[in-house]
């Protein structure tokens, strides 16, 4: 845990680099500019809308993994998405004895590919309106779209909508979602 905390602290310090040297092409997320030359964790720690996700990634010991080379597509639930879970769920998941369950849930939000929204929509079209999305956590999400909004159905039948798509990262892409995706077991 000490290594994760030190890594997390180092990432926080590294994320304070001057914005002047970066492009404004990426969307703002949680009131923070996202930089395409930073990795998923380096950007996520700056989003005010993802503090719960960052705490969960730290508690699950996934900071180093999601800072790695990738590529990863992360469907990133907002704080409001976590708050919509039944009362006490997040607090229970963050307990050390529930690390395996937390890791399973978080990795069901991660795909081992760099999938931008146009590619996802193309796969949905190729599969007649619904595309299975296998995650690194062993879950299979079902992707659909209406207009320009991609939706992901988890194994429990919950549907999350991508609210901010195509947040480019040095090791993949983040798509912000409005619900937490849950595995069947």
Does 185 have pLDDT greater than 90? Answer: no
**What pLDDT score was predicted for residue 34?**
86
**What pLDDT score was predicted for residue 25?**
72
* Higher per-residue confidence, 103 vs 4: 103
- Residues 21 and 35 sit within 8 Å (Cβ to Cβ): no
Does 17 have pLDDT greater than 80? Answer: no
- Residues 13 and 41 sit within 8 Å (Cβ to Cβ): no
Does 49 have pLDDT greater than 80? Answer: yes
Pick the CATH number of 2-177 from 3.40.50.300, 3.30.70.1140, 3.40.50.1480, 2.30.180.10: 2.30.180.10
Whole-number Å distance between alpha carbons of 56 and 93: 8
Mean pLDDT calculated for residue range 36-61: 90
- Residues 111 and 135 sit within 8 Å (Cβ to Cβ): yes
**Two structure tokens written together for 119:** 């590619």
Whole-number Å distance between alpha carbons of 11 and 4: 10
176 bridge partner residues: 76, 164
Provide the 8-state DSSP code for 157. Answer: S
Does 12 have pLDDT greater than 90? Answer: no
pTM value > 0.75 = yes
Work out the mean pLDDT of the chain and round it to a whole number: 86
Omega of the bond prior to 89 within 30 degrees of 0, cis?
A: no
* Higher per-residue confidence, 13 vs 117: 117
Does 10 have pLDDT greater than 70? Answer: no
Does 60 have pLDDT greater than 60? Answer: yes
């Amino acid at each position: 845990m000490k290594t994760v905390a030190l890594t997390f602290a180092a990432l926080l310090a590294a994320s304070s680099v001057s914005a002047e040297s970066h492009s404004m092409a990426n969307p703002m997320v949680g009131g923070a500019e996202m930089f395409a030359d930073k990795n998923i964790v380096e950007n996520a720690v700056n989003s005010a809308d993802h503090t719960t996700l960052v705490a969960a990634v730290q508690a699950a010991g996934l900071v180093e993994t999601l800072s790695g080379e990738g590529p990863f597509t992360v469907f990133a639930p907002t704080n409001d998405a976590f708050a919509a879970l039944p009362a006490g769920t997040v607090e229970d998941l963050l307990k050390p004895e529930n690390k395996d369950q937390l890791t399973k849930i978080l990795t069901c939000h991660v795909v081992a590919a760099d999938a931008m929204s146009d590619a996802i929509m193309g796969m949905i079209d190729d599969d007649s309106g619904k595309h299975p999305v296998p995650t690194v956590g062993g879950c299979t999400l079902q992707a659909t779209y209406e207009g320009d909004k991609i939706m992901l159905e988890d194994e429990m039948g919950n549907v999350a909508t991508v609210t901010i798509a195509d947040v480019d990262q040095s090791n993949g892409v983040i798509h912000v979602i409005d619900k937490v995706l849950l595995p069947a077991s």
